[in-house]
Structure 1
């Protein structure tokens, strides 16, 4: 303004040197983010030198010092802020004493410095809150991504179990019936026709179940809504195995009661896997499927066992593999049992003969779906 407006005659004229010195007092702001204390010290020192040694026009503008003090409040630790605040208070008091020495100027200068400090701390709180919100959002996103990955892995494992149970059982039954067909054609043609019917029925059921499962994976239309097979489907399952020449007994004990759909589906898949193993590995003539509902009061765990009279766990006949070690099928049985808070086991049957697959499932009347 002294370059533009007329000045009082007794006021020194404005010169380029004095305003160049004033401009120098702003340059330290370039480093205020990296060295806020040093920037404040340089600005105060340049301002003091201007007042003491340069006979310039009027008082230098205090904005650079206020910005530097604001930055100290924003970026420095509590101990540094306390030291800088005390030093700045001393400098301001000396400056006011050398200028007017009035309480009015001291109050006004202190008020401006306090406001700059308060704004710095307010901005620090705002930035800390924003950083906390962003960090929380990032953590939530990571947690959601991990949860989605885990859910996808669980769903892949579930689909793998279902497809294994469906295909392994269907293919095993079809192979047994197909191998028995030529013999039956020569010895008992009526049994050959029944074997071929069983092959067709098994294939149709496997295709229907696979179609339902694969429909869930399709994204271009609604998935088919068909119930999972349950305990009511066990007789038909056992009949298909009987047609292969295997004697199958079905025993139930305890007070029968309605069970959740997920539990019934697990029972069906466990029995299906047990029968598949018998057909594929046991070389057995008889298998017993037993459902034990526990206590007579309608409560308790449900125990499912599949026992055959064929090769034992060691697979001693025909060079078979150790059945107790299991493949994906027995692993799937254990996973299904664990999903219902239960356990699964396998080993030799009574008296060390044959093979037994057992599962104990935790059931609750409160969890029964309508």
Structure 2
């Protein structure tokens, strides 16, 4: 299948009835262009008369038709149409009684089509055959140079259009690859956040449950219930993430409304959690809500894993034109030997993708503080 056919089929698949309508528009445009070429090359037969006789013989007009009709199907068979159109030009030159005119319009359009959509081998062969034919049939050097320049210009226009199309397609492919890379990074970050949070809570609860299983059976039972809840929640979020791969944009993503449930899981792990909100809540984009949720999730995961904290507070500060999301714990604070792991890097990347900025460091009263501001 030729590149042009592939492009047309892709257009129909991508645009549906709009692509089909575009193809029908191309056909009507080709027919109109063919009629225009035929009329332009036939005009001398209508407005002039031979020196002898009442009119031009019909046989002299047939090469004009042969040179013009291939324009209608040049998109499908460009090289064959160029050959037929050139044959028409040659036959017109052999006609004994015909208006003195060049009938180049059809062949030049077909040459443009060859340069635009044919393969490299066909393009080179067409150029070589055209140049050889002109040099063999045209006696005047000036005429040969003029015609070669004209045909070369038509070829150059087609080649330039082809180059622009290939550049545009390359840019589209690059954009698609970048979008795919960003999507893979987003999914990897989602999996990191979901599994890291769930496994951290499950490990803490499992260790606590094993330690108190004999001395406090009720508390051990609650710990194992929390493990089950964290596991089910992780499975639900994993299904959501995988569902987004199958049907992008349809799978529901966590929002700010899911923060209380997230903090409840943290409380089940034995960490006092509090959600505070300042200012009137207002609608924010889904991307911002997801980024804010993941920030809180990752920050709390770090608290559970590294901070040795007893409490954590999440603050939503609805400022004029901004939303600030802050997570503060009362743990041991940052380890000076640690320069930041993948978690904080992932938080910064996710927040930046949503148009926000991140700051983190020691909290004023001790512990650690992570804050994101979305404009």
Q: Does TM-score exceed 0.5, indicating one fold?
A: yes
1:117 paired residue number: 145
1:127 paired residue number: 155
Q: Distance in 1 between matches of 2:282 and 2:219?
A: 37
Give 5+ residue unaligned stretches, structure 2. 1-137
Q: Distance in 2 between matches of 1:118 and 1:226?
A: 64
Is residue 2:333 matched to residue 1:312? yes
1:355 paired residue number: 368
Q: Report the 3-state secondary structure (helix = DSSP H, G, I; strand = E; otherwise coil) of the residue aligned with 1:210.
A: helix
Q: Report the 3-state secondary structure (helix = DSSP H, G, I; strand = E; otherwise coil) of the residue aligned with 2:283.
A: coil
Q: Report the 3-state secondary structure (helix = DSSP H, G, I; strand = E; otherwise coil) of the residue aligned with 2:324.
A: strand
**Contact kept? 1:254, 1:293, Cα under 8 Å:** yes
Higher relative contact order (CA 8 A, sep 6+): 1
Could you state the TM-score of these two structures normalised by the residue count of structure 1?
0.61
Could you state the TM-score of these two structures normalised by the residue count of structure 2?
0.60
Change (3 A) 1:264 1:224: closer
Equivalences for residues 235-246 of structure 1 within 5 A: 235-246=260-271
Change (3 A) 1:155 1:223: closer
Give how far 1:193 is off: 1.4
Give how far 1:183 is off: 2.8
Q: Distance in 1 between matches of 2:186 and 2:315?
A: 25
Is residue 2:166 matched to residue 1:152? no
**Contact kept? 1:212, 1:223, Cα under 8 Å:** no
Aligned length: 238
Q: More helix per residue: 1 or 2?
A: 2
Give how far 1:249 is off: 1.4
1:332 paired residue number: 346
Task: Find the partner of 2:226 among 185, 188, 198.
Answer: 198
Q: Report the 3-state secondary structure (helix = DSSP H, G, I; strand = E; otherwise coil) of the residue aligned with 1:314.
A: coil
**Contact kept? 2:328, 2:370, Cα under 8 Å:** yes
Q: Report the 3-state secondary structure (helix = DSSP H, G, I; strand = E; otherwise coil) of the residue aligned with 1:291.
A: strand
**Contact kept? 1:215, 1:224, Cα under 8 Å:** no
Q: Report the 3-state secondary structure (helix = DSSP H, G, I; strand = E; otherwise coil) of the residue aligned with 2:210.
A: helix
Q: Report the 3-state secondary structure (helix = DSSP H, G, I; strand = E; otherwise coil) of the residue aligned with 2:361.
A: strand
Q: Distance in 2 between matches of 1:224 and 1:195?
A: 35
Is residue 2:189 matched to residue 1:161? yes
Q: Report the 3-state secondary structure (helix = DSSP H, G, I; strand = E; otherwise coil) of the residue aligned with 2:319.
A: coil
1:264 paired residue number: 289
Change (3 A) 1:170 1:238: same
Q: Distance in 1 between matches of 2:240 and 2:270?
A: 30
Q: CA RMSD in A?
A: 2.0
Give how far 1:188 is off: 2.5
**Contact kept? 1:212, 1:224, Cα under 8 Å:** no
Give how far 1:134 is off: 2.0
Q: Distance in 2 between matches of 1:274 and 1:163?
A: 15
2:114 paired residue number: none
